[in-house]
Amino acid sequence: MARPRILVVGAGFAGVECVRRLERGLIPGEAEIALVAPFSYQLYLPLLPQVAAGVLTPQSVAVSLRRSRRHRTRIIPGRAIGVDPKAKICIIRKITDEIVHEPYDYIVLSAGSVTRTFDIPGLVDNARGMKTLAEAAYVRDHVIAQLDLADASHDENERASRLQFVVVGGGYAGTETAACLHRLTTNAVRQYPRLDPKLIKWHLIDIAPKLMPELGDKLGRSALEVLRARGIEVSLGVSVAEAAPEKVTLTDGRVLPCRTLIWTAGVTASPLVTTFDAETVRGRLAVTPEMRLPGFDGVFALGDCAAVPDLSKGDGAVCPPTAQHAMRQGRRLADNLIATLRRQPLKPYVHRDLGLVVDLGGKDAVSKPLGVELHGVPAQAVARGYHWSALRTNVAKVRVMTNWVLNAVAGDDFVRTGFLSRQPAKLRDFEYTDAYLTPAQVREQTASLHPGT
């Protein structure tokens, strides 16, 4: 009798935790496991702002998939671009652009999320994201390039636009990105004697009335005070009306000369979700507390692409798209898959919130571990301790700790590598948002290659 085939789509926090738990929990030969991953690493997303600032090297936050598995999982190097749940086939575009059809008995959708954008003129062409390792590396090069070009320019208007930076999004990603990159440019400007440090301006913009409301009023105000004390201009209740190559127009009428717009205004589920004719909640697949997709045999979903009910809150609440939830959901889903194979009852996902950490660079941070509010050095110790312990491999832990120590002792470097310096670097190019099939295209492909399905 053929072994059941389990296909896990996505190598983020949810997918990798699910695979690791399956490898530990399944008896050898009990099932076949395959993982669809476009890259050979799991990205530790919360530390991307430190990569952009040069505190950490890109390799430090790219945790090798092959170091963290027990060689029982087959890794398919590609991206799932469609799923036919009736035929139980996943359509995959491999990194060579070859299209393959992978059959499954059980599929785990952990495809994650992409940067959420809006219908704002010029946004998708002129904004940079902070969702992928390539984007973080690009943003670092781009910011340092603006300093180099401003230093070489004799045009005051050009200097003004190159030395003004706008970050949109007052959540964790935007706040940490603005804080870390502001610190980078503040330190870097000492190497540019022709540049007046007062000309360098950072703006953090969010449509919400509060900065990081999840932290609570007290810690949110603390973070706001830290940013403003550094000279970052924080504008709340404001968004972008138009994005042009050399200026950004805000909804309050201000026009900022600017050639660097970093967009971190939230995420939305992977476009893979749209290949299903399934119910969604704010763009995420509506699943049961056991993370089953109702009406679809053998389909499970979790992480950023699924609206997993938050049973601790009730009233229809769903779990937010955070790494903390994704990892725990991955472990619970693996247990439920094993229970399904063994015809045992499934258990719902229930969590206990461990708290929140926000690293603002240097000695500044705000944290709320287990409900205890911290700021300054104690909060920084908690934030970095949490991130360090969450890294899965010892190699990653050594690299991150070494980078932190080296940066604390030797300071920043301001090397510009030239990464994609002559490319447009649009959001869709980094996140491949136009690579997915429609439900009709999925059915057409599977029908032509698998008649009768």
Residue 70's pLDDT band (cuts 50, 70, 90):
low
pLDDT (mean) for 421-446: 81
- Residue 369, pLDDT score: 86
Distance set, CA 99 to CA 104, 440, 446 (Å)? 16, 17, 12
Q: For the domain made up of 117-265, give the CATH fold.
A: FAD/NAD(P)-binding domain (3.50.50)
- Asked whether residue 113 carries a pLDDT value surpassing 60, the answer given is yes
**Per-residue model confidence as pLDDT tens digits over 366-395:** 998 878 889 899 999 999 999 999 998 999
Residues of the chain with CATH 3.50.50.60: 5-115+268-353+431-449
pLDDT (mean) for 343-359: 90
What percent of the chain has pLDDT above 90? 77
Phi/psi at 208 (nearest 5 deg)?
Answer: -70, 155
Residue 7: name the closest of 29, 43, 37 by CA: 37
Q: For residue 20, what are the β-bridge partners?
A: none
Residues of the chain with CATH 3.50.50.100: 117-265
User: Distance between CA 268 and CA 266 in Å, rounded?
Assistant: 7
- Which amino acid is located at 444 in the chain? E
pTM of the model: 0.92
User: Distance between CA 112 and CA 77 in Å, rounded?
Assistant: 16
Q: Which one is the CATH code of 5-115+268-353+431-449: 3.20.20.80, 3.30.360.10, 3.50.50.60, 1.10.287.110?
A: 3.50.50.60
**Per-residue model confidence as pLDDT tens digits over 290-330:** 999 999 999 999 999 999 999 988 888 999 998 999 999 99
Residue 437's pLDDT band (cuts 50, 70, 90):
confident
Q: Which of the residue ranges 168-177, 356-365, 444-453 would you say has the lowest mean pLDDT?
A: 444-453
- Asked whether residue 450 carries a pLDDT value surpassing 80, the answer given is no
> Helices (H), strands (E): how many in the chain?
13, 25
Q: Which H or E element spans position 234?
A: strand 233-236
